[in-house]
Amino acid sequence: MPRFRLTIEYNGGAYVGWQRQQDNRAVQQALEEAIQAMSGQSVETVAAGRTDAGVHARGQVVHFDLERDFTADRIRDGLNFHLRLEPVKVLDAAIVGPDFHARLSATGRQYLYRILNRRPPPALEAGFVWHVPVPLDVAAMHDAAQCLVGHHDFTSFRAAECQAKSPEKTLAHLAVTRAGEEIHVTAKARSFLHHQVRNMVGTLKLVGEGRWSAADVQAALDKRDRSAAGPTAPAEGLTLMQVDYRSA
């Protein structure tokens, strides 16, 4: 029974998140329906990360098993045909060994959060950025972000409904840069807590506005209390960019 690995992109604004739900349409449901339409087989897909409602992906990785043999190109093109009415597309397909697991085999994940930092609201980028009309100090945000890099208890940046067994994570990289009218927050780690990136961005925005300092961010981290940190940034600014795996 061959195992297939997909790299997919999607507009998360059209779905209630990755995970299939009973009453609302999810990315997983759209993809599994396409697989069944192409292969005639009902499968369960496994993703590298369960993105929330409104969160986008450019490099989500998924695996599934089929009883029939297909070439990787046929899987990619056939699924894209059946997904033509959905804002989900297969960028790449590959045949992998039975030991590959989209979630458990992953060694790192990279997210990008986009803030549109200008007075006028977006037209073309609406739904893909967080519009913040007041000027933000990018240098201060980046300096404060370094307080969060490393191995910490991230309880202050963890959603109440987070199901992770431990609040401890190792944040490998957190950078804040300006790209024209946008501010980009890039976060890299092996794995993240539920809402961790969005909660960090919401906190760093307070720094950018001059309402908080780097010391305030450090104090919020040390308190290990969600109420000590800043608000949760909107989902639409967040994109899962890449999932890393060890080379074969």
What single-letter amino acid sits at 8?
I
CA distance 105 to 99: 8
Q: Is 137 a catalytic residue?
A: no
For residues 8-33, one letter each, b for 16 or more C-beta atoms within 10 angstroms of the residue's C-beta and e for the rest, the string is bbbbbebbbbbebeeeeebbbbbbbe
Extended beta strands in the chain, E state: 3-10, 46-47, 56-65, 88-96, 106-116, 130-131, 150-153, 168-179, 182-189, 238-245
Q: Which residues pair with 4 in a beta bridge?
A: 64, 95
Question: What token pair was written down for 79?
Answer: 């699924």
Sequence-distant (≥ 6) Cβ neighbours of residue 42 within 8 angstroms: 32, 36
52, 65, 216, 225: which one is catalytic?
52
CB neighbours of residue 101 within 10 Å: 15
Helix, strand, coil % over all residues of the chain, rounded to 5: 30, 30, 40
Which residues are catalytically annotated?
52
